[in-house]
Amino acid sequence: MDRDLARRLEARLGASIKGQIRQRLDQTELRIEPGSVPDVLRTLHDAVDLRFELLVDLAGVDTGKVMQVVYHLWSETTTDWLRVIAGGIQRDNPRIPSVTFLWSGAEWMEREAYDMFGIIFEGNRDLRRIFMPPDYTSFPLRKDFFLPDDAARSPGAGVRHVERPHAPEVIADDPAAGIRRSPAS
């Protein structure tokens, strides 16, 4: 754990950080407001003592109450990975600034978060569905998304077919397929 990194982050971003900087093993985590994403990530990217020049991953999160966007960053200046959580995004109108001005590869990651969670990345020049059909009207990774066959949550309740227990199958020896049970001990 790079304790010096926490001090550098506090010195550079103190007013923008919500709560405490957390460190565990090789990860440092900080939380910010969605509106401060451009300034905070620009500082993390451009500051000589930080230089988080690689956006490794960007993911949407639905907590059930609010939405979040999580950025995973890497820098050669530290042994820690940096996780930046922009939380408190309203579920009914999830909007956050795009970071494509720093990392052009973020365009695809933002499209995925849009497609799965409905998070709108303002400033992304190509924000459209990437997995689901263009006319699809829902967002499959949101907590309020239910599958049509989700009998466990339907008024009739019940067990979905994928959750039915099955008795183990007895596998017979099949020399032609190369299957041979090991002898019992």
- What would the pLDDT profile of 70-81 be if each residue is shown by its tens digit? 999 999 999 999
Q: Is residue 172 part of a domain?
A: no
- pLDDT category, 159, cuts 50, 70, 90? very low
Would you say residue 180 has pLDDT above 70?
Answer: no
Q: Is residue 66 part of a domain?
A: yes
Q: Is residue 13 part of a domain?
A: yes
Structure tokens that stand for 63 in this block: 């907590």
In angstroms, rounded to a whole number, what is the distance separating the alpha carbons of residues 32 and 43? Answer: 13
**CATH code for the domain in which residue 86 is found:** 3.30.460.80
Q: Is residue 111 part of a domain?
A: yes
Range of the domain at 99: 3-144
Q: Map residue 89 onto helix, strand or coil.
A: strand
Which pTM does this prediction carry?
Answer: 0.77
Q: Can you tell me which residue has the tokens 């304790």?
A: 3
Mean pLDDT value of segment 83-105: 94
Mean pLDDT over the full length of the chain: 85
Q: Is residue 161 part of a domain?
A: no
Q: Is residue 26 part of a domain?
A: yes
Burial zone of 104 (CB within 10 Å; 0-12 exposed, 13-18 middle, 19+ buried): exposed
Q: Is residue 104 part of a domain?
A: yes
Q: Name the domain count of the chain.
A: 1
Q: Is residue 109 part of a domain?
A: yes
User: Cα(first)–Cα(last) distance of the chain, in Å?
Assistant: 48
